[in-house]
Amino acid sequence: MDSIVKTNFSFPGQKDLYIGKVRDVYNIDDQYLVMLTSDRISAFDVVLPEGIPYKGQVLNQIAAKFLDLTTDICPNWKLGTPDPMVTVGKRCEPFKVEMVIRGYLSGHAWREYKSGKRSICGLSMPEGMKENDKFPEPLITPTTKALIGHDEDISREEIISTALVSEADYSILEKYTLAIFQRGTEIAARMGLILVDTKYEFGKSADGTIYLIDEVHTPDSSRYFYLYGYAERQNKGESQKQLSKEFVREWLMEHGFQGKDGQQVPEMTTDFVKLVSDRYIELFEKITGDVFVKADSTDVLRRVENNINEFLKTL
């Protein structure tokens, strides 16, 4: 099974190439971005050594679908998806914070809570909660966007006082974040899932318009539980059945890796890589309701390059 873990294309009008943890982003004439979602996988802000077949296709197609399903809430950057692994869209200046929103006490928030903390990003968390309990209201817990190393929790007050984002713009980001999360929650419920937490990224165009950018409601940016049996599992103190990247983090922790200095990434076996690939495909089908159709992976790099070049001719 071929997977894409590295690209180095050269497109007409290309200004530069940004290589992120998962995405390779090509700047075309400072007007458009070609975002290729690779099959790389990261956890604890570390890119793992093995690619996950079809992961890029899963992420790109879920994000494209949810961008289309939220255009009535806010504008987004997408112009087209010329390849199953590629989205092309408007180039925006990204805000320097990620808008994380949490409906349930899980993941990072639970780890903070378990350590004794009762606030996160300046927001209070009620006493007496158990892991995976639902918050009374969703909490927006933004993080900084670290180019290197770990993103850091930051409060609304710190964001505004340090001028990372103006108060007027941040109010819009909050409004959009709550509304998109509500839409995602409703769609997930219809599919028998719970949208536990997620993150959104926003950018501003040259004319000052704020756009939703990057991925939306994918398993890399979101955590999902199965709705059926959730309450019963909570009442019994059992682990929730979930579809997210958290199981990758748990596997790494079980093998002694949390991204800390001096720790070695454990070997990813063929069976584990296939398991991760299958879980991503499962989430695609569960959250979209569509059957996942595996793209032809014969000479996948040439396929992607040709599809992008043909689309760029139309811009």
Angle at 245 between CA 266 and CA 182, to 5 degrees: 165
Q: Do domains 14-91+270-312 and 94-244 have the same CATH topology?
A: no
- What was the pLDDT predicted at 1? 55
Reduce the DSSP state of residue 115 to 3 states and report it: coil
Q: Is the pLDDT of residue 18 over 70?
A: yes
Q: Which two tokens stand for residue 157?
A: 């007050």
The DSSP call for residue 292 is P
Q: 167-200, pLDDT tens digit by residue?
A: 999 999 999 999 999 999 999 999 999 999 999 9
* The pLDDT of residue 95: 97
State both tokens at 141. Answer: 């817990």
- pLDDT of the residue at 44: 87
Q: How many CB atoms lie within 10 A of CB 15?
A: 12
Over its C-alpha atoms, the chain yields an Rg (Å, rounded) of 19
**Cα 75 to Cα 92: distance, rounded to the nearest angstrom:** 12
Q: Cα separation of 315 and 304, whole Å?
A: 17
Could you say which architecture CATH assigns to the domain 14-91+270-312? 2-Layer Sandwich (3.30)
Return the domain boundaries, the chain: 14-91+270-312, 94-244
Furthest-apart CA atoms within the chain: distance in Å: 59
The CATH class of the 94-244 domain is alpha beta
Threshold 0.85, pTM exceeds? yes
Mean pLDDT score, 134-159: 89
CA separation for the pair 102, 216 (Å, rounded):
14
pLDDT of res. 245: 77
